Structure 1
Amino acid sequence: MTHHSQTALNLVREQSPERPVALVRRAPVTVAAQWFQSHFKGEIFYAVKANPSAWVIETLRDAGVRAFDVASINEVKLVKALSPEARLAFMHPVKSRRAIAEAYYDFGVRTFSLDTQEELAKILDSTGGAKDLNLIVRLATSGEGANLPLTNKFGAQVYEAPALLLAARQATQDKMGISFHVGSQCMRPTAYAAAMSAASRSLVRAGVLADIVDVGGGFPSIYPGMVPPALSEYMDVIDRAFEDMKVHEATELWAEPGRSLVAESTSILTRVDLRKGDALYLNDGAYGNLFDATHAKWPFPVKLHRADAGGEVSSELKPFRFYGPTCDSIDHMPGPFWLPADVVEGDYIEIGMLGAYGVAMATGFNGYGESDTVFLDEAPMASLFGLGPRHISLPRSETLEDNKIVRFSRPKGGKKGRRRRG
């Protein structure tokens, strides 16, 4: 169910929603897309896994994003249904034969990622030995500087990479590329330079030239206690590192931003069903939209909305922890989440910065997990793109200035085009 509302408070006081509500804003997605297209000197592939909502795909499409990083055949079908002319890159390093064949033959996908000789053979076999493939070899990285490292499951190791790069080069008459993922919510721009340097060394050892250098995702957003360097620093580091790579003049530069494009867009409105001391029992949780709050233990920004129009809210803030609605005791979000000391049953809590890996992670466990969607005109609860005001709830001794939140002026737009070395 989708509605429109001017503010979250209006929604609470007019409807007192029974189910959790995803409060979504199109403007932050548009502005972030414009920023990346203006500042990244290459091709942007949106990582659909971050938020596969139809409105996100449509908003990005309308903002000029024409390429998408997909991780499953269902994501291929989703994007093609909403943006038939989209360019897709199937960047999951492990795929079923049927998914590869369907993507290739039915949807025209030509770009596939791999990190083993076995996956390369599978791709070639499933496409009938096609020579028009873009084969992207994914390297393992250290994960240093990432809040959520992605180092164990995927990526060819240093000793494996040269042979795999050479095999991929020999397998296609089209393009061969090299990629990596520095980890989610990467807080160190230099992590990209280190990975690009390692990629360059692997190419030299293999004795091949790459047609594509894909720096992956990992670009951060802003959360309480996690204020990253300016995004422009990441772009500068990548630009300098690309200049130093052993690549040819026509080598393309790609990136797969996900979190940084959509995190600011969505907050989750959830109701307090019980207060037990410093524990608040909510109607949303780990099996709904709050996976990262539970498993990554991120203290997302919060804001209290009271349904009673005449009810005053305490100016004193106290730390709270949350429990979700399921019967599983792991459904616990430790926070701390700083809220007015007098929060009671029936109050609503808006939890911000959940546009990435919020609605995308929801399940139906215990009969919970369903939520409604409401489009808001409000600014996000925090922003790296200058979309204030900010409403991060902090202890009274802290201020937004203390956290040195970075602001950017809104870009004027205009795509610079694909990056060419020369």
Structure 2
Amino acid sequence: MAQPALNIVSAPFYADALDVAKVMQPEEAVFCFSADRLKERLVRFTAGFPGKVSFAVKSNPSREVVTALAEAGLTHWDVASVQEMALVHSVQPNAHFHYHNPVKSRREIHNAYHKFGCRRFAVDAREEVAKVAEIVGEDRSVELAVRFVLPRERASSAHDFSTKFGAPEHIAIELLQDIARRGFVPVLTFHPGSQSRDPQVYVRHIEAAHRIARAAGVHVGKLNVGGGFPASYPLSRPAPLEVFFASIAEAVTRSFGKGTEPELECEPGRGLVANSMSLLTRIKLVCSDGDDLFLNDGIYGGLMEFMQVPELQPPFRVIRDGRLVEGPRKPWKVFGPTCDPLDVLPAKLDLPVGIRDEDYIEFGTLGAYGIATATMFNGYGDHAVIPVGEVFNG
């Protein structure tokens, strides 16, 4: 679907969403973004993860986020399209791209390679290997990352990618051998699923990576453990990131042997950016004789993922005149602004009984897949991005 053109506001600077609501009194829904919180989260990844950290641009393709990460020293970017490459390249011309969408057209491969200097392509099918080889020719500096998949043992993540991407182990072995025969640089990669809650999922994939490389008889110098690192939501509170990092490091050493481990890479999206943004919405109508209220944003805007995965319900709070609204609460059915009856949140929200038209509801922890999935349906969705010092996360 077409993405809205984001309206980036660089000044003035506000303390938080309460300040934005009081001073700006925005009529349209806006995202409040804290570059400081994002940079702090990046430091946590780079200090704790035992390898190279990149950013999954698909989770938040806003210029504000890309700029903040580039300013903080990030140089590697996980991209799913040449459009994402163009965005990053416009901010950081020397960016290194990992094109880890395993399905690409010939034109996309050509533009990634020739226009943006991409030298890493993910594959999970023989046909994709042949297609990349045809376009890059004799350039043996090109890395081909075999994306493999394991059978899903249980629901350990909010989104399961195994139904769409990834080669089973026996095919991954053949792909590694084909890549080695062609003279390209073999890499292994996987994705445990978005909002992955169990560190042992990474362990099982790392063990499988070792089995695949050993069975193929191919030396793999790099292993990308994907994204999936979780953020904290009211209904989904995972272990600290450091538990994931330690589990990954231990599994790699145990599987590959100390001193012979491949270089590690990760590509967080949600786990890196979720806590850096909130969504400030305004109430258009409160039906006082019932329990319905209508916002200026909804599932076709910044709240689409909440509709798809109720466990990712964001924290929320009500703001009036720059202050929090407290008092007795009751469940309210919350509709978005469009004319589509599907535009309603999947669960009622406990909100103050005295809530009014033109009060604001701020939804926290929406830095991941808030902007990314917003549409312009019915003319809504042109969200401004407002810089703030602190951002609400519940």
User: Does 2:255 correspond to 1:245?
Assistant: yes
- Is the contact made by 2:150 and 2:169 (CA closer than 8 Å) also made in structure 1? no
Give the deviation of 1:182 after TM superposition.
0.3
Written as runs of structure 1 = structure 2, the 5 A alignment for 1:10-409 is 10-143=19-152, 144=154, 145-173=156-184, 175-246=185-256, 249=260, 251-276=262-287, 277-297=290-310, 298-307=312-321, 313-378=325-390, 380-382=391-393, 392=394
How far did 1:102 drift? 1.1
Aligned partners of 1:62, 1:260: CA distance in 2, in Å? 19
> Residues 21 and 322 of structure 2 are in contact (CA less than 8 Å); yes or no, is this contact kept in structure 1?
no
3-state DSSP of counterpart to 1:267 = strand
- 1:302–1:338 Cα contact (<8 Å) kept: no
Q: How far 1:33 sits from its partner (Å)?
A: 0.6
CA shift, 1:58, in A, is 1.5
- Per-residue CA distance 1:209-252 (angstroms, 9 max, x = gap): 21110000000001011110111110011001110233773721
Amino acid in the other structure paired with 2:157: A
SS at match of 2:122: strand
CA RMSD between the two structures: 1.7
Aligned counterparts of 2:373 and 2:212: Cα–Cα separation in 1:
35
Q: Is the 8 A contact 2:19 2:322 kept in 1?
A: no
Matched, 1:6 2:19: no
Contact 1:135 1:172 in 2 (8 A): no
CA distance in 2, matches of 1:218, 1:81: 27
**Equivalent pair of 1:141/1:180 in contact (CA under 8 Å):** no
| Percent of paired sites with the same residue | 37
Report the 3-state secondary structure (helix = DSSP H, G, I; strand = E; otherwise coil) of the residue aligned with 1:107.
Answer: coil
How many residues align? The count is 379
CA distance in structure 2 between the partners assigned to 1:94 and 1:36 by the alignment: 28
Checking the alignment, whether the CA contact within 8 Å between 1:112 and 1:135 is kept in structure 2 is yes
Given that residues 204 and 246 in structure 1 are in contact (C-alpha distance below 8 angstroms), is that contact kept between their aligned partners in structure 2?
no
Determine the C-alpha separation between the residues in 1 that align with 2:330 and 2:182: 60
Distance 2:172 2:306 in 1: 36
Tell me the distance in 2 between the aligned counterparts of 1:15 and 1:63.
29
Letter in 1 for 2:78: D
For 1:16 and 1:321, the matched residues in 2 are separated by 24
2:322 and 2:195 map into 1 onto residues whose CA distance is: 38
Residues 308 and 153 (structure 1 numbering): CA distance in 2 closer, same or farther, change over 3 Å?
closer
Segments of 5+ residues of structure 1 without an aligned counterpart are 383-391, 393-422
Alpha carbons of 1:233 and 1:343: their partners in 2 closer, same or farther (altered >3 Å)?
A: same
Contact 1:274 1:280 (8 Å CA) reproduced = yes
CA contact (8 A) 1:141 1:181 kept: no
1:100, 1:220 → 2: CA distance?
30
Between the aligned partners of 1:270 and 1:339, the Cα distance in structure 2 is 14
Closer/same/farther in 2, CA of residues 147 and 308 from structure 1, 3 Å limit? closer
Q: Distance in 2 between matches of 1:28 and 1:171?
A: 44
Question: Alpha-carbon deviation of 1:13?
Answer: 2.5
What is the CA–CA distance in structure 1 between the aligned matches of 2:379 and 2:187, rounded to whole Å? 44
Alpha-carbon distance in structure 2 between the residues aligned to 1:238 and 1:355: 25
Deviations 1:387-406 (A, max 9, x none): xxxxx3xxxxxxxxxxxxxx
Work out the CA distance in 2 between the residues paired with 1:43 and 1:207.
Answer: 25
CA distance in 1, matches of 2:51, 2:23: 46
- Between the aligned partners of 2:175 and 2:275, the Cα distance in structure 1 is 38
Instruction: State the 1:306 CA deviation.
Output: 1.0
Question: Which stretches of structure 1, 4 residues or longer, exceed 4 Å deviation after superposition?
Answer: none
Contact in 2 for aligned 1:293/1:335 (Cα 8 Å):
no
Unaligned runs of 5+ in 2: 1-6
In 1, the alpha carbon distance for the partners of 2:60 and 2:108 equals 21
- Distance in 1 separating the partners of 2:24 and 2:55: 34
**SS in structure 2 at match of 1:159:** helix
Return the alpha-carbon distance in structure 2 between the equivalents of residues 343 and 141 of structure 1.
Answer: 48
User: After superposition, what is the alpha-carbon deviation per residue over 1:262-295, rounded to whole angstroms, capped at 9, x for unaligned?
Assistant: 1011101111112243332111011111111112
Q: Secondary structure at the match of 1:147?
A: coil
The verdict on how the C-alpha distance between 1:44 and 1:314 changes in structure 2, with shifts beyond 3 A counting, is closer
Describe the shift of the 1:172–1:329 C-alpha distance in structure 2 as closer, same or farther (beyond 3 A): farther
- For 1:38 and 1:205, the matched residues in 2 are separated by 33
Inter-CA distance 321–150: structure 2 relative to 1 (3 Å threshold): farther
